[in-house]
Amino acid sequence: MFGIDEAGKGPALGPMIAACVSVPDGSVLPEGIDDSKRLAPAKREALAEALHGDDRIAVGLAAIEPARIDDPGTDMNSLTVAAHAEAARQVVEAGMEGVCDAGDVDAARFVRRVSEGLPEGVSLSGEHGADETHRVVGAASVVAKVERDRRIRELEAEYGEVGSGYPSDPRTREFLEEYVGEYGELPACARSSWKTCTDALAAAEQGTLAEF
């Protein structure tokens, strides 16, 4: 059995991460698995370490980087489908059954699209909130979130404090404004098509015009 989920669909900075966790049965999953949003960071880290460290558990990860997100020829629904399939292909085989957290308002459509990218003979179902009702999907949620957080820490090592990357985070908005103000362009880690990023560029341009 396996579960798939993603983290980081909505941030203005960094990649979206999808994870697939495959187990022989649910009994091998560590205690405390839940939707990653319900868990404290330290608990998520400990669970992710346990999942990665158990040789009975297989973990697949896929990263959708900002440049791919900004491609005008695609959209977030399609990229979420692709991420789920890319993560799952690393660890699933024909005959396996799994569940995904539906990343589309139409859960059946999302499942159908992800299934098209999986090996033949794999049976996939999906629903909204699957990370709350299926422990194996919760495990995927945890792994994806921890990997996403690790990527943000890497960005902080390169750029300094960037916040969570989400548009609602004041520090993320400040970072973008400061970076654009200094360099005249967005950092490579930014999703340049996101409104938060285009707003930072527009504000810098207005500031430059005001100087004349």
Nearest Cα residue to 202 out of 178, 180, 172, 174: 180
47: tokens are: 């669970």
- pLDDT tens, position by position, 105-152: 999 999 999 999 999 999 999 999 999 999 999 999 999 999 999 999
| Residue 55 marked in a binding site | no
- pLDDT tens, position by position, 18-48: 999 999 998 999 999 988 989 999 999 999 9
Number of Cβ atoms within 10 Å of the Cβ of 106 = 11
68: tokens are: 């791919």
**Cα(137)–Cα(145) distance, integer angstroms:** 12
Work out the mean pLDDT of the chain and round it to a whole number: 94
151: tokens are: 């990527």
| Residue 6 marked in a binding site | yes
Structure confidence at residue 212 as a pLDDT band (50, 70, 90): very low
- pLDDT tens, position by position, 103-112: 999 999 999 9
212: tokens are: 């004349």
- pLDDT tens, position by position, 55-81: 999 999 999 999 999 999 999 999 999
Q: What is the pTM of this model?
A: 0.93
- The answer to whether residue 207 scores a pLDDT higher than 80 is no
Contact between residue 91 and residue 2 where contact means Cβ atoms under 8 Å apart: yes
Number of Cβ atoms within 10 Å of the Cβ of 4 = 34
| Residue 101 marked in a binding site | yes
